[in-house]
Amino acid sequence: MTNNDWPAPHASDVVGSDRNAKQIAFPPALIGWLIAYAAAVVFGVSLSAAAGQTDPDNVPTWFVGLSALTLWVPFFCVLLYLSRTRGHGNFRADYSLRFAWSDLIGIPLGVVSQLVIVNLATWPFRQLFPETFDPEQVSQRAKNLVDGADGAWLLLLAVVVVVGAPLIEELVYRGLLQQSMARSFGSIAAVFLCSAFFTVVHLAPVEFPGLFAFALILGFAFRRTKRTGFTIVTHMSFNAAGLLLVLLT
C-alpha cells in the first residue's frame, strides 16, 4: 500500500470506451435495492418461522449470523448483477471500493462518532422525550445481542457487527445508492437523501437521531474521498466502539 489509493482500478479494467455511459443510474439502483430488500424479508421471515424465533429480546447469536446472511446475500447478488449489467462490469470501480493509508483516519472518526456525535444528536430528543430516548432504550438492541453471546458466539457476533455489516452497508448505501442519487439529484442532496434512507431502513426510531448524524458523516466523507474504503473503515470503527461500550457497561 502506498500513499495513493490501493488497489486502484486500471483503465483496462473498465468495459467500454465511455466510462460515464456505464455508470449505474438511480432508477435501476433503487429497483435493485427493493428487490434485494424484499428477498431479504422473505428469507428472514422464513428463517424465523423455521427456527421458531419469535422473541426479539432474546435472539441467539447463531440466529443473528444466519439472519445476517439472509440479508447480505440478496444485496451482494444485486450489487454483482448491477455491476455487470448497468456498470463497468468491474465491482471495485462501480462501487468505488478502494483503500488508502489515509483511511485510517476513519478509526478515530468512528470512535468519536459513536461516543460523542451520537449522544449530541440524541440529546435534544432526550430532553423532549426523556422516556423514549432514555440511554437504556437507545442501546437496548445492542445489549440484547451481547447478552445472548459468549465465548465463540461473541466472536461470531463481532464478525457480523464489526466486519460484515459495515462492508455490505457501505457498498449498498454509499457505493450504490449515494453515487446513483448524486447523478440524479446532485452530490449534496444525495448525502441527505441517502442518510435518511439509511436511517429509516434500520427500523429503530429510538436510534434515528444518532444514526442520521452518523450517516451524514459517512455521506460527506464519501463525497470528499470518493472511496467506500474510507467509509467502511469508519463504519467498522463505529460498530466496534459501540460493541465494546455495551460489553464494558
6 pLDDT higher than 70: no
> pLDDT tier at 64 (50, 70, 90 boundaries)?
confident
As a whole number of angstroms, the distance between CA 228 and CA 234 comes to 10
Q: In the structure grid, which three cell numbers stand for residue 30, read together?
A: 433503487
Residue 5 CA to residue 16 CA, distance in Å, equals 23
pLDDT in tens, 137-157: 777 777 777 776 667 778 888
Global pTM reads 0.89
Beta-strand (E) ranges in the chain? none
Burial class (CB in 10 A: 0-12, 13-18, 19+), 214: buried
Compute the mean pLDDT over every residue in the chain, rounded to the nearest whole number.
88
